[in-house]
Amino acid sequence: MSVYFARHALLPEGWAKDVRFEVSSSGDLASVTPGCAPDGASFLQGLVLPGMPNVHSHAFQRAFAGRTERAGPSGDSFWTWREAMYEMLETIEPDEFEAIATDAYATMLEAGYTTVCEFHYVHNAPGGAPYARRTELADRIVAAARRTGIGLTLVPVLYRYSDFGAQPPQPRQLRFVLSFDTFAGLWRELYDAYGADAQIALGLSPHSLRAVAVADLPLLVELAGSVPARVPIHMHASEQLREVEACLAVHGTTPIALLAQSVALDARWCLIHCTHATDFERRTIAECGAVAGLCPTTEASLGDGIFPAVQFVRAGGRIAVGTDSNVSIDVSEELRWLEYVQRLASRERNLMHAEGEPFVGTYLYETTARGGAQASGRAIGALAAGRRADLISIACDAGTEPDTALGVALFRSGAWKPEDVIAGGRHVVRDGRHAGLAVEK
């Protein structure tokens, strides 16, 4: 059993002093006890926080992060970016796919993300032929997670069409496309292979309402319900106005309303972006207990729009954050952008907070860690006995009280510096560096 000690740690009941953490051999927290002496424990400097869950990643997109910042001939948008992304993907074979994911996950750990939900929709070889093993690329994601130590919720994705009304896929989308039955087979195979692994959980996803048929939705929910585990269900929703308009044109209603008509939404769902959700749709999400998976830096990068997060959380909505396109892998940037776009939209300050929690940084961190745990389907997101031992330590100025110190770490640029990161009990980042990355870079 390993033992850690922190002067200041953020526990479910608030900041605690002189906390001892006992970690079991299975990688869970066996005990969390404030008011102890360090006695032989490994000392974690600064503030100790639960590792942040990253609820939405397409790891392979890290390969071209920052490489699409040149204006094209007739204006750029999410859709022109998507063409560039599809083009880049055409050359990526399994070894490279795994190498990119390994690098991305090590970088996530260095940034303080101890788990990732990998929204995995690249199933086929370039050109669209199936791999000899249909789990080829999913296995590569698992290999990258195992090598780096990051906790993984693998979210295999059903992607069948190019647009509403079951439009046939474009040639470049053929790497994503599986029939429903092939997808269900793939999913069961992954469940059998990894369902018992403590580092890995399995989710499931219809990519978006553009990419699946309405009739697929209840079948996917049934598939998720066919195993004893609680399987989170993720889906992109209402990210771009074009998508909302196309949905209205074909189905006479907006995407999340259509989803809510098609299945009984509940707390297993994590809807990614929700940028253009209507008031009614946001209320629906909040009331059913689903999580809105917000990806502020990607949403800014792609010109998606602004999700009214303040109204949503005040109406009881649950939120989490994801790195999505991985153009940025930095917890502080994600949380800061989440707050800052609200300020830009409303011309006010200090918006994301709640009664009893006036510190914006602490509120954002606790809220997204909790929502992230729910969306990941894993016992994470809090420093408490029985949860995974996902701990990060953040350097801070001695003598600064913890709420202020966390605010500085999140809002003063460059101040977010995880020194030690322990993921599932594995001490994978020391002095700010992931052991694997130090060798490879």
Q: Which residues are catalytic?
A: 273, 324
Q: Which is nearer to Zn ion, 293 or 436 (CB)?
A: 293
The pattern of x and - marking residues 315 through 334 that bind Zn ion according to CB under 5 A reads: ---------x----------
Q: Which is nearer to ligand NGQ, 238 or 362 (CB)?
A: 238
* CA 5/CA 9 separation, integer angstroms: 9
Collapsing DSSP to helix, strand or coil, 313 comes out as helix
Q: Which is nearer to ligand NGQ, 58 or 388 (CB)?
A: 58
239 binds, among Zn ion, ligand NGQ, none (CB under 5 to 8 A by kind): ligand NGQ
In the complex, minimum distance from the CB of residue 380 to ligand NGQ, in angstroms, rounded to a whole number: 24
Task: Give the total of residues touching ligand NGQ (CB under 6 A).
Answer: 6
Q: Which is nearer to Zn ion, 163 or 324 (CB)?
A: 324
In the complex, minimum distance from the CB of residue 64 to Zn ion, in angstroms, rounded to a whole number: 15
* CA 13/CA 34 separation, integer angstroms: 11
Say if CB 314 and CB 355 are below 8 A apart. no
The pattern of x and - marking residues 237 through 256 that bind ligand NGQ according to CB under 6 A reads: --x-----------------
> Which stretch of DSSP H or E encloses residue 293?
strand 291-294
Contacts of 123 (CB under 8 A, 6+ apart): 130, 131, 134, 137, 138, 156, 175, 176, 177, 178, 186
Residues in region 259-318 near ligand NGQ by CB under 6 A:
302
Select from 236, 370, 378, 434 the one that contacts ligand NGQ (CB under 6 A).
236
Q: Which two tokens stand for residue 267?
A: 């707390």
Cβ-closest position to Zn ion = 324
101 binds, among Zn ion, ligand NGQ, none (CB under 5 to 8 A by kind): none
Asked if residue 230 binds ligand NGQ (CB under 6 A), the reply is no
Report the 3 state secondary structure along 212-277: CCCCHHHHHHHHHCCCCCCCCEEEEECCCHHHHHHHHHHHCCCHHHHHHHHCCCCCCEEEEECCCC
Residues paired with 20 in a beta bridge: 5, 33
User: Which residues bind to ligand NGQ, rule: CB under 6 A?
Assistant: 58, 82, 236, 239, 302, 324
